[in-house]
Chains A and B, each alone.
Chain A
Amino acid sequence: MDTREKDIENLKDYKYGFTTDIENIRAPKGLNEDVIKFISNIKKEPKWMLDFRLKAFERFKLLKEPNWQKPKYPKIDYQDLYYYSAPKSMKDKPKSLDELDPKLLETYNKLGIPLQEQARLNGIAVDAVFDSVSVATTFKGELTKHGIIFCSMSEAIQKHPDLVKKYLGTVIPTTDHFFATLNSAVFTDGSFVYIPEGVKCPMELSTYFRINASETGQFERTLIIADKGSYVSYLEGCTAPMRDENQLHAANVELIALDDAEIKYSTVQNWYPGDENGKGGIYNFVTKRGLCKGKNSKISWTQVETGSAITWKYPSCILRGDNSIGEFYSIAITNNHQKADTGTKMIHLGKNTKSKIISKGISAGFSDMTYRGLVDINSKAKNSSNYTQCDSLLMGNKCGAHTVPYIKNKNFDSNIAHEATTSKISEEQLHYCQQRGLNPEEAVGLIVNGFCKEVLQQLPMEFAVEAQKLVGISLEGSVG
């Protein structure tokens, strides 16, 4: 069996679909003040953190669930979820990897994310989040040398309360939309990154999210702060076991770039997409927002979205600093009954701000894909520019591809250019490839990879290879 066929075999089972049999501690089912206090208590949080949560919860009670999105889903009963679930062995936090529950280590090995440092290939520091808690962070020593803080959110609240207090909720306030507010109230863990002034982070930082427990929502919160003149590249990966029920994942990610800083955030999202008939799968309702706070700062989002039953997210950039740059590169692939409504928001507030959006959507099977984006150039954002390109590829006539851009230009010095196309793989291209000896599926793989190339190029090496494979695999069975 060649590797490609193996990949196909793997896909048929969704190779990350296993569950880890591990004892859990859970918060009582449901959403109320007591549960929030329980979460805060078990994490030994200071009072200001609890107040932050309760304030968000007060607000949450007033909000209505939005329903303007294209993919509709059955009503979620927010009282029928567990908001906290953690492996029992994590109760007394292990001091080092040696003390970590072997079952957890094994899980991550199975996922292809070995947590032992010596096993890592090329020095990517990993923060592994299992259900509601961060279980391990690697390469801490190396990072500390540079003054970089990379740890779980809970740890940051304990050890670096000043930084957390100063920045948490400044990009996504507790008064934001429904899911973001819910997250502010009940978030459990996530990653915290602080890059001090002038430091170029020597390695890729990465978080690996894993949902394991059933009937559990995952609400993690990530906060990345790049101080003046610093640089960081951050990767995020996600998987979940196969279950018949739908699971909710509502994370918040906040990025803050100060003067001359650059943050590059890459995601390869491969949550369980549900089976061929659309049963089960993750609802991926994530709020990601970056603030280019300082002059000459830059935030770049790259995402490869292949998993989840429903993906509903818009990683955004608020370009407040003069000369700041926002970028968004996205590949979204939906197959079978998957649905995606994704895109970005570029909000230009500062002078000479620039943004670029490249979005590639591929839909096959019975799936539905929507690009929804906003480009808003404020009247004060003199001499700003935006370039948007969103292309969609359709395979078959049971699927849909939609483009809904919102373009607002309030500044006469600024330029906005937007282009979008929708097409299918042409017979000529297929014919040409097949003539050169490729079988139809290989030909489609090749053409699709070419279609996505502009985005794949933006990914760090290690991720690019994986993403490229993922692109091919996700579309398996959609041709012919």
Chain B
Amino acid sequence: MKEQLKTDFEKIQKVSSFSSKDVETKRFYLNKFIERGFPNRKLENWKFLDLDKIINKSINELSFYNDYSTTNKIDTSIFIDGLEHNKIIFINGRIEKIDFSYEDKNQIEIFDNTKIDYKFDDKNSLIDLNKAFSNKYFKILIKKGYSVKKPLIIYHLTNEKMKSKNINLRLDFELEQNSSLKLIDFFNDITDTNFMNILYNFDIKKDSILKNYKIDKSLNKNIKYSYNNINQEKNSISETFIFSASSDYFKNEINCNLKGEYSSAFVNGIFSLKDNKQHEIRTSINHLVENTKSYQLIKSVLGKNSKAVYQGRIYVDSIAQKTDGYQLSKAILLDETSEFNAKPELEIYADDVKCSHGSASGSLNENSIFYLMSRGLNYKESKELLINGFLLDVVEKITDTEIRNLIKNMIGLTE
């Protein structure tokens, strides 16, 4: 793989127009990645699902080369109907279109010359991979006091040209004071066995609100990794919702630094898996100052041969008094081949805090099924009704009504 990485890297440099300084930085990260390779189970964070092994098993000869010089045709039929929205269209590793047609142009700025060298989790080799191979990336700045009117949907697409490829995406968002953004990541990639590596960085300034919804809905055989780094200032709110269902492998990592007082972070997630799917959510919420709050709710419904992992970590610094931290993970195992692993972790250095976590897993309650069947539903209907209610609980946490209804319909939940 080492040679492959090197040759693919040089090939990309030939057809691309990065500045020599950028190439140098990229090469530095390439070497760093070559040194460490894909993360494997020896690393605590990857203990439950070994990415190195999964990639080796399901992707033959992963290629890192992408031709960024040719444009891709946009298939407009996949756009979400019934919801007016702004768009970013990301096809085959290229951002083809950034469209803020519903917004005041003076309030949003788009930069395409952000520094690569932003400091993230240093131990994560996938971030190095992203830095080495991602195409030009953009920073979107929402100006002071502006609330983006319509949600922004990022379409993650691939077409038949892509097979056994590594695709990297990096986007930065900055929300200036008292602004807000609703962001939907919509995955609609139907091609097979690609490895997608997505890195977002959010800087949320004072009094701002970020809502991020990730929807992995259409069945595909890709392997995906997404890393959200969120920095929050005073009074800011971040809300993340993850619907993790259809890729062969999907790991979502949320690293949230609550740096300002009265800031709060919410992470809600659903795993709805079957047929050999392996998904993971790992969160790390760092309470770094006083009076911050975090809340996490993860629910899983696991069918045949599927495996879900939730690793949630709450870190409370010694000065972060009056922290309120909560995590809850619940799983329903539907089949004897399904598996749920959890590692809800608390790391606390301050004494005046309220932190707790709960985790439960098991099968559907037979008594409830019996109750419903005695009311005239058949076994299948009763099961579906119970699962519906179980998952609805998480969707209800979505604060935006329009998007909540959209997601509810998409997943097929009824009230």
Contact = CB atoms under 8 A, between A and B. Distances in A.
Given A392-B348, A424-B352, A412 B341 contact: no
A394 B350 contact: yes
Interface string B344-370: 111111111111111111110000000
A415 B360 contact: yes
Given A395-B351, A419-B356, A413 B345 contact: no
Which secondary structure characterizes the binding site on chain B?
strand
Nearest to A400: B349
Contacts of B341: 406-409
A409 B345 contact: no
A263 B166 CA distance: 55
Nearest to A402: B347
Nearest to B363: A412
Contacts of B359: 405, 407, 416-418
Interface string B333-346: 11111111111111
Contacts of B193: none
B357 A397 contact: no
A409 B331 contact: yes
Given A68-B44, A398-B318, A422-B353, A409 B340 contact: yes
A418 B350 CA distance: 23
Given A416-B359, A419-B358, A396 B351 contact: yes
Nearest to B351: A394
Contacts of A415: 360-363
Nearest to B359: A418
A410 interface: yes
A405 B319 CA distance: 25
A422 B326 CA distance: 11
A382 B70 CA distance: 56
A418 B333 contact: no
B321 interface: yes
A412 B331 CA distance: 10
Nearest to A380: B336
A404 B363 contact: no
A402 B347 CA distance: 4
Contacts of A438: none
Contacts of A422: 346, 348, 353-356
A421 B355 contact: yes
A400 B343 CA distance: 19
A405 B344 contact: yes
Contacts of B318: 397-398, 400
A359 interface: no
A399 interface: yes
B295 to A, nearest CB: 15
Contact of A420 (B338, B356, B363): B356
Interface in A283-330: none
Contact of B343 (A395, A405, A417): A405
A422 B333 CA distance: 29
Nearest to A398: B318
A400 B351 CA distance: 8
A421 B337 CA distance: 32
Interface string B306-343: 00000000000011010000000001011111111111
A154 interface: no
Contact of B345 (A379, A403, A411, A412): A403
B360 A418 contact: yes
A403 B347 CA distance: 6
Contacts of A400: 318, 347-349
Interface in B148-175: none
Contacts of B343: 404-407
A80 B55 CA distance: 46
A411 B336 contact: yes
A384 B222 CA distance: 35
A405 B344 CA distance: 6
B336 A379 contact: yes
Contacts of A417: 358-360
Contacts of B334: 412
Contacts of B355: 421-423
A414 interface: yes
Contacts of B362: 409, 412, 414-416
A95 to B, nearest CB: 54
Nearest to A392: B348
A414 B332 CA distance: 10
B351 A397 contact: yes
Nearest to B342: A407
A398 B321 CA distance: 12
A418 B358 contact: yes
Contacts of B331: 409
Nearest to A416: B361
Nearest to B330: A417
Interface string B363-395: 100000000000000000000000000000000
Given A405-B359, A409-B340, A418-B360, A397 B347 contact: no
A410 B339 contact: yes
A412 B335 contact: yes
Contacts of B358: 417-420
Given A417-B360, A424-B352, A412 B336 contact: yes
B339 A421 contact: no
Contacts of A406: 341-343
A182 interface: no
A245 B276 CA distance: 54
B8 to A, nearest CB: 35
Given A416-B359, A419-B356, A421-B355, A397 B350 contact: yes
Given A407-B342, A414-B362, 20 more contacts: A394-B351, A397-B351, A401-B346, A401-B348, A403-B346, A403-B357, A407-B340, A408-B339, A409-B341, A409-B362, A411-B336, A412-B333, A412-B334, A412-B335, A412-B363, A413-B363, A416-B359, A416-B360, A417-B360, A420-B357
14 contacts: A379-B337, A397-B351, A399-B351, A401-B348, A407-B340, A407-B343, A409-B341, A409-B362, A414-B363, A417-B358, A418-B360, A421-B355, A422-B354, A424-B351
Interface of B: 44, 318-319, 321, 331, 333-363
* Top-9 shortest CB links A-B: A412-B333, A415-B362, A394-B351, A418-B359, A421-B356, A403-B346, A407-B342, A424-B351, A422-B355
